[in-house]
Amino acid sequence: MTLDAIRTVAVLGAGTMGNGIAHVFARSGYNVILRDVETRFLDSAIETIAKNLDREVKKGKIAEGDKPKVLSRIHTTTDMSEIARSDFVVEAVPERLDLKLSILREAGKLLRPEVILASNTSSISITTLAAGTNRPDRFVGMHFMNPVPVMILIEVIRALQTSDETFQTTMSLCERLEKKPVAVNDAPGFVSNRVLMPMINEAAFAVMEGVATAEAVDTVMRLGMNHPMGPLELADFIGLDVCVDILDVLYTGFGDSKYRACPLLRKMVAAGRLGKKSGRGFYKYER
């Protein structure tokens, strides 16, 4: 599939990432088919997109008249067969290998042969996913960052099977979204989580060992290293359960004890202190 032939993009999953991905494609002029399993998820995605567009209007990022145009480009559906007319597909369903494989197989059967399938997984092997589809050479990782409309980076991950053409088209497509694509080969955690998660883990160890409080660790990293957010505040934002899951992927993927998840993180997850989403993690949040 050539870049210019891509007009309609299907986004599978309308959750945190899916609504952001639909937003940025529609904002860049693409028609979007946003698919989820229930209408209520789609309604809430459109509500979120509308709110985020309002924020962009306020900030002067888009003109007021652009909001209805962007929204009109997003078609929502619970019917998977509607994705048959799409020219590019981004999968953003929950992080479960079995679920992703079954959706990618179902999508592969519906799509024209030349259509590229991309996954937004944060930790599953792109090579494994590619092997489970009917188009391994037209399969690629497209790792958007949260919140998608704001964050510039996209890690573009090459599976062992990804063709040069698929890779180049995807890189160029990211630029059309006014994002910065960075090429990464498939390896556990790619680059983002391989570098970020050990830092978060080490920060948690420092708290567990009584080296400093969470506030002190975060202050050192914010004021001393110029990070906009401390690692523990960031961990709360990502979700401590998600952090532990990703550390486990690194631990098993590399077979290296340096990725062993901090016992304090596991304990907090067991207690339901998952971070911002549960109202309490390293910090407390108003709900």
Ligand X SMILES: NC(=O)c1ccc[n+]([C@@H]2O[C@H](COP(=O)([O-])OP(=O)(O)OC[C@H]3O[C@@H](n4cnc5c(N)ncnc54)[C@H](O)[C@@H]3O)[C@@H](O)[C@H]2O)c1
- List contacts with ligand X (CB under 6 A): 12-18, 35-37, 41, 92-95, 103, 120-122, 144, 146
Which of the residues 193, 201, 233, 278 is marked catalytic?
193
Does 143 participate in catalysis according to the annotation?
yes
Q: C-beta of 246: minimal distance to ligand X in Å?
A: 9
Q: C-beta of 256: minimal distance to ligand X in Å?
A: 22
Q: C-beta of 38: minimal distance to ligand X in Å?
A: 7
Choice between 206 and 240, CB closer to ligand X: 240
Does 122 participate in catalysis according to the annotation?
yes
Q: C-beta of 37: minimal distance to ligand X in Å?
A: 5
Q: Which residue has the tokens 């631990």?
A: 251
Q: C-beta of 225: minimal distance to ligand X in Å?
A: 22
Does 193 participate in catalysis according to the annotation?
yes
How many whole angstroms separate alpha carbon 227 and alpha carbon 151? 15
Q: C-beta of 2: minimal distance to ligand X in Å?
A: 27
Which of the residues 143, 201, 233, 278 is marked catalytic?
143
Choice between 206 and 231, CB closer to ligand X: 231
Choice between 107 and 262, CB closer to ligand X: 107
Paired tokens of 260? 């062993």
- DSSP secondary structure string, the chain? --GGG--EEEEE--SHHHHHHHHHHHHTT-EEEEE-SSHHHHHHHHHHHHHHHHHHHHTTSS-TTHHHHHHHTEEEES-GGGGGG-SEEEE---S-HHHHHHHHHHHHHHS-TT-EEEE--SSS-HHHHHHTSS-GGGEEEEEE-SSTTT--EEEEEE-TT--HHHHHHHHHHHHHTT-EEEEEE--TTTTHHHHHHHHHHHHHHHHHTTSS-HHHHHHIIIIIH--SS-HHHHHHHH-HHHHHHHHHHHHHHHT-GGGPPPHHHHHHHHTT--BGGGTBSSSB---
Q: Which residue has the tokens 């970020």?
A: 196
Longest dimension (CA), the chain: 57
Which of the residues 122, 123, 201, 278 is marked catalytic?
122
Choice between 121 and 166, CB closer to ligand X: 121
Choice between 18 and 136, CB closer to ligand X: 18
Which of the residues 56, 91, 155, 233 is marked catalytic?
155
Choice between 53 and 90, CB closer to ligand X: 90
Residue positions annotated with a catalytic role: 122, 143, 155, 193
